[in-house]
Structure 1
Amino acid sequence: MSFPVALPFEPVLLLWVGAVFLLAGTVKGTIGLGLPSISLGLLAATMDIKLAMILLLAPNVVTNLWQAFTGGHFRMLLKRLWLFLLCAAVAIWLGSAALDLVDAKALGALLGLLLAVYALLGLLRPPLSLSPRHEIWAGPLVGGLNGVLTGLTGSFVVPGVPYLQALGFTRDQLVQAMGMLFMASTLGLGVSLGGRSMLSVDLLVLSGICVLPALLGMSLGRRLRDRLSETGFKKVFYGSLLLLGGYIVARWIVQ
């Protein structure tokens, strides 16, 4: 796969990508999640999903680094989730193997479906519970499936986040566990894309530039957090994500 060298530095594209990461960073700064889902969904609706996946790498690493390693629960979570995280990262290689074999529009539709499912789970909030004795087999299974879907679409959230929600963590533990999943998935995705020669210096530079609006958005989101209802904002977030996912799927059906 190759992209025109001049593409990442076209002014209109730079403005659009910057605006997307500013918005996604603002959402993450406000409610603690949503940067990969919002940015990937908006970018994939307007460009090749493989390009969108690459642009997401640097902002995801930087914004999830703090989330993964702060909170005071890293050692406990790693001891409990290491096999789940390992399978989630390694299986990305399997999913990315199909990137050049599957039509990009079909991959975009799969991404839209995953975003819609994630949004519905967030809106409906069904009770999720998993007995600890089932983690020994459920962790690798869910992690592997999450990794394959990440390799295909760049989305880290389904079924990994619902699985973590079912483990009975406290809110702080869950936030840190999601950060660890997103961090492991981002690294796995970067290695997989690089190993398949899908990265270029130009795209990595643009991905690095995207860190700035993402961090600016997070700073803005933190300021908004105290002025907005977190519950209400989450409903708007999940509702918007549902519409975005539905739009991506509908566009694929029409085309």
Structure 2
Amino acid sequence: MRANKITVAALALAAGLSLAACQSDGDATDRSDSSAAPATTSSHGDPGPGATKGSPASGGSAQGTAQASAGKGSGEGQGANAGTGSGKEGKLGKCRTDELQVKATDNTIDGDPGGTVVVEFTNGGGRDCVLSGYAGVDLKTSAGTLSAKRTGQQASRIVLKDGGSVAFGITYPINDSGGSGVRVTGLVVTPPDETKSVTLDWPGAATLPVTDGSGSPVKAGPIGSAGQGG
């Protein structure tokens, strides 16, 4: 009896070990299948081993980083260039004498106590520029150079477009004394903030009355004014 019990126990133990081994094999097979299943298809849809799945992911991350870096660099460069260009275009320089076409015309109106000459600047420089303040005005006369006084009116800053024009007025007394007066032979105009002048024919009355030396009877208005009174 004792021998039989030992034999039965041994058989039972052997059967148990065999069953446990079968279950262990089954679990191992299940885990292998579950971990391998996602790895059989790569991120591009191509079948491959488990290592293939990690490779595209790593490559995609590097590509994304490169694209982000390239985008950042491109954006910064673009912004800097645009800002520099905008700053240069936004700054206007003053109008130069060589860029201006200057002409003078008589603008005296019947009944006015004095005469008026209008001087016009036309921008022919191929760019917009700025004129502001008073131009220099000198009359060449038989008695020497006579410089015009400023009227004292407030001067405005004027952006003169390419091809655009702006004018100012010169007023002077009419010679009605009956004498020969002072003969005017020419007009010299110097644009504001410039040293180069333009000499023009005087379009006004041929003579001015003789002054008593108390000051110039000729007056010039600021840029943008025209007509009687400057």
**TM-score calculated relative to the size of structure 1:** 0.23
| Structure with greater strand share of residues | 2
| Structure with greater helix share of residues | 1
Structure number, greater radius of gyration: 2
Which has the bigger relative contact order, CA under 8 A and spacing at least 6? Answer: 1
